[in-house]
């Protein structure tokens, strides 16, 4: 494909002119340009690298790339979706770079590094493919990584890696040995290979009140010509299953005057489409003031998109402003219609608030609400599904004419959350079908996520290093659930069965694949939150 895609870009930063001795670096997104350039994380890291005169940066996507250096020293990937790992294999092989770190010792291969939400959550299934994994927020971590690499730029690779392992948040998988109870048993221990390597790697947290905003706007993005601004990072609600909250704590908010308004003014010089991002945007303490700012007449022609909002923040005023800025609907995560189940998962929400939000949305002129739900949550009973159906039918009566849809996923356990010890509920597929039958027959738009994909997600989210051989096999078979089952059969006896990773509840004292990686909260706190959830099960019966 031609490089015309790059020609459509409006840059909101000034790339540096590389020095004569600049480090040649490739920064890749393992998907097509239109997907990768819509990732705010990818944009920010690319701009951070491109503004350094000591680097010569080339971008690479699966369908297009900038001219690549003959001898790159660093080769980075931003991984946002688990199954994009297949494209990492393809990209490395197309440049004649072995996909496994152990096979890169002979020649002068670049250091392959990775970051992004997938690798920060649980890097272990991919550990054998990366020399370096950056854990956490990239704002300071990236500079620390590059600056420390420069001090050992001419050293042997092992010396480089041992030096980089001292940098907080820089994880060198090859410097840690994983020992198993047996080939197909649980993990016995995870230890550094020598005493100079830190036994625990701490995920890095960026604590400024200046958050991210788009560094490029293009009509070729998946969200055409959108300028994105991060309003909040993390979420204060701490639903017990939620990676977006627990892994990214603490909750941080962008300064209205120091970050948000200057960023918005800069972005709206090149586009009329604005996206407000964050796990809980409307919980910004100055959100009302931000709305008032965006209500100015000079912004009458902008198109405003907003990420998922908290139910009790949906006011008539919010709905009116969004409707007047070309927003047709809002998205609310309710998880379930059951007050009982929401108490177990720490979702601080009552059905009355959901109904009021829908009334306010309609009064304000919005045309629809997209609800997000989940089946298979720990503590869920059949009656909770019935109550969810009742809630949706009540909403249909209370707000006639408002388009209602319920997107529904399957609970998948995530690392660094209190529910990491639970498995996927094997009744989930049946429960999705139950909701589908009940709701569609009443004319409510029900959009289930693939249960089979949830199983694969569960496998990767709880996987250890033994999965690397499975991922290689699956890549050759095609990425269907049948391919995973075929690969498990072929590797029988060399790693645990699918059930061990996906469906089994794990013991609290079990060594987890990410035991040597410290998230925002210590394990003792996660266990305390889990105990509170279990107490709630008995309290609300």
Domain 225-462+506-537 part of CATH 3.80.30.20: yes
Report pLDDT digits (tens) over 497-541: 999 999 999 999 999 999 999 999 999 999 999 999 999 877 655
**């965006």: which residue's tokens?**
294
Q: Residue 3: what pLDDT?
A: 60
Nearest to 72 by CA among 99, 122, 44, 111: 111
Question: Alpha-carbon distance 476 to 487, whole Å?
Answer: 10
- Count Cβ neighbours within 10 Å for each residue of 81-113 and write b for 16 or more, e otherwise: ebbbbbbbbebbeeeebbbebeebeeeebbbbb
Q: What is the mean pLDDT of the chain?
A: 95
Report pLDDT digits (tens) over 14-69: 999 999 999 999 999 999 999 999 999 999 999 999 999 999 999 999 999 999 99
Tell me: pLDDT of 365 over 90: yes
Q: Residue 537: what pLDDT?
A: 77
Question: Alpha-carbon distance 221 to 43, whole Å?
Answer: 11
- The sign of the dihedral angle between the CA atoms of 154, 157, 162, 165 is positive
Average pLDDT over residues 92-96: 96
Question: Alpha-carbon distance 476 to 161, whole Å?
Answer: 31
Secondary structure class of 91 (helix, strand, coil): helix
pTM of this prediction? 0.96
Q: Residue 539: what pLDDT?
A: 67
Number of Cβ within a 10 Å radius of residue 55? 21
Report pLDDT digits (tens) over 164-189: 999 999 999 999 999 999 999 999 99
Nearest to 311 by CA among 366, 273, 246, 356: 356
Token duo for residue 457: 């997600």
Q: Residue 1: what pLDDT?
A: 41
Tell me: pLDDT of 13 over 60: yes
Contacts of residue 228, defined as CB under 8 A and 6 or more positions apart, other chains included, come to 40, 212, 213, 214, 275, 277
Nearest to 407 by CA among 327, 340, 333, 343: 333
Instruction: Name residue 332's beta-bridge partners.
Output: 371
Q: Residue 536: what pLDDT?
A: 84
% of the chain at pLDDT higher than 90? 94
Q: How confident is the model at residue 357 (pLDDT cuts 50, 70, 90)?
A: very high
Q: Residue 440: what pLDDT?
A: 94
Average pLDDT over residues 6-21: 95
Domain boundaries, the chain: 4-202, 225-462+506-537
Q: How confident is the model at residue 121 (pLDDT cuts 50, 70, 90)?
A: very high
Average pLDDT over residues 442-469: 95
Q: Residue 457: what pLDDT?
A: 94
Average pLDDT over residues 405-414: 97
DSSP state of 260: I
Tell me: pLDDT of 107 over 80: no
CATH class of 4-202: alpha beta
């Amino acid at each position: 494909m031609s490089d015309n895609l790059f020609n459509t870009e409006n840059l909101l930063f000034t790339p540096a002119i590389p020095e004569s001795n600049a480090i040649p670096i490739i920064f890749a997104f393992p998907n097509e340009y239109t997907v990768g350039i819509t990732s705010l994380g990818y944009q920010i890291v690319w701009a951070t690298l491109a503004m350094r005169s000591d680097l010569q940066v080339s971008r690479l996507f699966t369908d297009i790339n900038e001219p690549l250096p003959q001898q790159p020293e660093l080769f980075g990937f931003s991984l946002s979706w688990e199954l994009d790992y297949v494209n990492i294999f393809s990209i490395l092989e197309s440049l004649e770079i072995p996909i496994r770190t152990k096979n890169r010792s002979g020649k002068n291969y670049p250091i392959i590094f990775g970051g992004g939400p997938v690798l920060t959550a649980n890097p272990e299934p991919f550990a054998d493919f990366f020399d370096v994994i950056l854990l956490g927020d990239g704002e300071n971590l990236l500079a620390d990584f590059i600056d420390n690499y420069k001090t050992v730029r001419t050293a042997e690779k092992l010396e480089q890696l041992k030096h980089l392992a001292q940098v907080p948040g820089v994880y060198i998988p090859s410097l840690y040995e994983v020992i198993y109870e047996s080939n197909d048993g649980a993990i016995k221990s995870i230890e550094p290979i020598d005493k100079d390597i830190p036994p625990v790697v701490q995920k890095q947290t960026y604590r400024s009140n200046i958050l991210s905003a788009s560094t490029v706007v293009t009509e070729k993005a998946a969200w055409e010509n959108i300028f994105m601004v991060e309003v909040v990072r993390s979420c204060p609600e701490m639903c017990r299953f939620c990676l977006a909250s627990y892994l990214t704590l603490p909750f941080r908010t962008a300064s209205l005057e120091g970050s948000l308004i200057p960023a918005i003014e800069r972005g709206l010089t090149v586009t009329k489409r604005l996206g407000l991002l964050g796990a809980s945007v409307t919980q910004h303490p100055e959100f009302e003031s931000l709305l008032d700012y965006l209500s100015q007449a000079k912004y009458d022609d902008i198109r405003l998109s907003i990420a998922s909002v908290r139910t009790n923040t949906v006011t008539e005023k919010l709905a009116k402003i969004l409707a007047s800025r070309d927003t047709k609907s809002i998205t609310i995560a309710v998880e379930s219609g059951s007050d009982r189940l929401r108490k177990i998962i720490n979702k601080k929400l009552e059905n009355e608030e959901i109904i009021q939000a829908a009334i306010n949305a309609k009064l304000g002129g919005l045309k629809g609400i997209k609800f997000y739900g989940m089946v298979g949550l720990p503590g869920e009973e059949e009656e909770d599904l019935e109550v969810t159906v009742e809630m949706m039918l009540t909403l249909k009566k209370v707000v006639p004419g408002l388009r209602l849809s319920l997107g529904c996923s399957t609970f998948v356990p995530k690392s660094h959350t209190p529910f990491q010890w639970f498995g996927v509920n094997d009744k989930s597929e049946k429960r999705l079908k139950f909701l589908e039958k009940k709701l569609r027959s009443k004319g409510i738009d029900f959009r289930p996520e693939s249960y089979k994909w949830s199983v694969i997600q569960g496998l990767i989210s709880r996987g250890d290093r033994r999965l690397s051989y499975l991922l290689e096999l699956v890549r050759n078979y095609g990425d269907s659930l049948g391919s995973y089952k075929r690969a498990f059969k072929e590797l029988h006896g060399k790693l645990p069965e699918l059930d061990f990773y996906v469906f089994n509840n794990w013991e609290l004292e079990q060594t987890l694949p990410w035991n040597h990686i410290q998230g925002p909260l210590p394990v003792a706190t996660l266990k305390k939150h889990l105990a509170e959830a279990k107490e709630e099960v008995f309290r609300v019966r």
